[in-house]
Amino acid sequence: MKKLSARRRHPLAALVVLLLALACTGGLYAVFAPADKAQADETAQSLTIEEGKKLYTVGCASCHGTGGQGTSDGPSLVGVGAAAVDFQVSTGRMPAATSQAAQIPRKKNIYSQAEIDQLAAYIASLGAGPAVPTEEQYGPEGADAAKGGELFRNNCAQCHNFTGKGGALTHGKYAPDLEGVTPKHIYEAMLTGPQNMPSFPDSTLSEQNKKDVIAYLNAVNGEETESYGGLALGGIGPVAEGLFAWIFGLGALIAVAVWVAARTAKAKKS
Which residues contribute to the site for ligand HEC (CB under 6 A)?
59-60, 62-64, 73-75, 77, 80, 84-85, 88-89, 91, 93-96, 98-99, 103-104, 106, 119, 155-156, 158-160, 169, 173, 175-176, 178, 181, 185-186, 189-190, 192, 194-198, 200, 205, 213
| Residue 145 and residue 219 in contact, taking contact as beta carbons nearer than 8 Å | yes
C-beta of 137: minimal distance to ligand HEC in Å? 14
Looking at the Cβ atoms of 163 and 237, the one nearer to ligand HEC is 163
Looking at the Cβ atoms of 44 and 132, the one nearer to ligand HEC is 132
Distance, CA of 86 to CA of 121 (rounded, Å): 10
Q: What is the dihedral of CA 242, 248, 252, 258, to 10 degrees?
A: 110
Looking at the Cβ atoms of 81 and 238, the one nearer to ligand HEC is 81
Distance, CA of 201 to CA of 251 (rounded, Å): 55
| Residue 117 and residue 236 in contact, taking contact as beta carbons nearer than 8 Å | no
Distance, CA of 51 to CA of 3 (rounded, Å): 63
C-beta of 212: minimal distance to ligand HEC in Å? 10
C-beta of 49: minimal distance to ligand HEC in Å? 13
**Long-range contacts, 157-161 (Cβ 8 Å, 24+):** 159/197
| Residue 106 and residue 91 in contact, taking contact as beta carbons nearer than 8 Å | yes
C-beta of 201: minimal distance to ligand HEC in Å? 11
Looking at the Cβ atoms of 233 and 257, the one nearer to ligand HEC is 233
